[in-house]
Amino acid sequence: MLVDTKAMFKKAYEGNYAIGAFNVNNMELIQGIVAGAAEKRAPLILQISKGAREYASPIYLKKLIEAVVEDNPEIPIVMHLDHGADVEICKACVDGGFTSVMIDASHDDFEENIRKTKEVVDYAHAHGVVVEAELGKLVGVQFDEGDEGGGKSGGAYTDPDQAVEFVERTGVNSLAIAIGTSHGAYKFKGEPRLDFERLEVITKKLAGFPLVLHGASTVIQEYVRLCNEFGGNLPGAKGVPEEMITRASRLGVCKVNIDTDLRLAMTGSVRKALAEHPDDFDPRKYLGPAREMVKQLVMHKLDILGCVNII
């Protein structure tokens, strides 16, 4: 069933677990993700980014999600806009049947971020849709903006006092915060470190309020090795250790975004299948195993997040 995040996040907060939010852009990804959630009896957030909308067309993605909702009526599924670039995109997604939208004005100044977020909140709430916003700037650039690396400068951690003011003035339903995660497959040059002290302060000041962690893929080394073994070039790719994700989910983080790990699993599987069977030209022969690998990855991630056997 298609739902919003209100009840989902309330249960997650009280149960000290987080919901997996998985980015989707084609049929095999969606099928693999939902199959994993069904087996683990876990609620699910399916995210559509700007890049996914441009690649697959919003109507195709919407119909694919409607198909899995119909096929899996027992799973609570949120259809979420990830990193909405402007107010107009958010409004269009509200009008298009999304149950949750994110307005990302984190690169604007504080007051402009509040203004844009409040405009989206007012419109979305009037249509029964929940809103996520972002405060602070993650290091790295979104895949959709054409940069794989996470090593660029420009990050800024979320200020706890500003977080309180932001939530109060906008009426937003959840808040993505910056505590050291980053987009892409190269999240850390040295030892991984997240600012859990900052997270604890924000959680205390916003007691009961759902926080969101972006740029939190683990960059599982099994999939990195698989990609590299069969022709890839990802030296030194490194993500957020899973124990850190589990710790964050017990400190008020109710939603964890996962995209890079999905890409690595699917690409590694496809590379392996084509390398081992160069005579195959039927897409089903390599996309089928990739779909299964995505399913296994999702099941593993749901265990890490602690949201299994919830439904």
- Positions marked catalytic: 82
Strands (E), 221-302: 253-258
Task: Find the length of the chain.
Answer: 311
Residues 231-257: b if buried by 16+ CB within 10 A, e if exposed = ebebeebbbbbbebbbebbeebbbbbb
* Structure tokens, 101: 């939208």
Give the containing element (helix H, strand E) for 116.
Answer: helix 110-126
* Structure tokens, 281: 């030209």
CB of 16 within 8 A of CB of 306?
A: yes
Three-state secondary structure along 163-203? HHHHHHHHCCCEEEECCCCECCCECCCCCCCCCHHHHHHHH
CB of 37 within 8 A of CB of 302?
A: yes
Q: Side chain identity at 268, as an amino acid letter?
A: G
CA-closest candidate to residue 80, choices 106, 95, 58, 98: 98
- Which positions ≥6 away from 222 have C-beta within 8 Å? none
Coil, helix or strand at residue 308: coil
CA-closest candidate to residue 79, choices 144, 136, 130: 130
